Structure 1
Amino acid sequence: MSGAGAPTLAVDGTGLRVVVVAASWHERVMDGLLEGARRALRESGAQWTEVRVPGSFELPVAAARAAAGGADAVVALGVVIRGGTPHFDYVCSAATTGLTDVSVRTGVPVGFGVLTCDDEAQALDRAGLEGSSEDKGAEAAEAAVGTVVALRGLPAVSGAPA
Structure 2
Amino acid sequence: MSAYDPYRRKVLIIQSRFYPDISDEIFKGAKLVLERKNVNFNSISVPGSLEIPSALSFSIHTRYGGYIVLGCVIRGKTSHYNLVCQESIRGVMNLACKHKLALGFGIITAENKKQALERASVKKGNKGGQAAETCLQMIKIKKP
The verdict on a shared fold, with TM-score over 0.5 as the criterion, is yes
Distance 1:19 1:99 in 2: 14
Shift of 1:71: 1.2
Distance 1:125 1:42 in 2: 22
Which of these residues, 126, 137, 145, is aligned with residue 136 of structure 2?
145
Structure 2: unaligned runs, 5 residues or longer = none
Contact 2:7 2:65 in 1 (8 A): no
Two-structure CA RMSD over aligned residues (Å):
1.4
Aligned to 2:92: 99
TM-score (norm 1): 0.82
Name the CA shift for 1:137/1:39 in 2 (closer, same or farther; >3 Å).
same
Aligned to 1:157: none
Which of these residues, 15, 36, 52, is aligned with residue 22 of structure 1?
15
TM-score (norm 2): 0.91
Contact 1:13 1:45 in 2 (8 A): no
Paired amino acid for 1:80:
V
SS in 2 for 1:22: strand
CA offset digits 1:9-46 (Å, max 9, x no partner):
xxx75313110000011111111001111111112221
Distance 1:144 1:67 in 2: 15
Contact 1:20 1:75 in 2 (8 A): yes
How many residues align structurally? 140
Is 2:134 the partner of 1:136? no
Contact 2:57 2:95 in 1 (8 A): yes
Distance 1:124 1:24 in 2: 14
Paired amino acid for 1:142:
E
CA offset digits 1:109-139 (Å, max 9, x no partner):
221100000000110101124xx42100010
Aligned to 1:38: 31
Q: Which has the higher helix share?
A: 2
SS in 2 for 1:139: helix
Paired amino acid for 1:136:
K
Which of these residues, 97, 121, 127, is aligned with residue 120 of structure 2?
127
Distance 1:44 1:102 in 2: 26
Paired amino acid for 1:149:
K
Aligned to 2:79: 86
Aligned to 1:51: 44
Paired amino acid for 1:140:
A
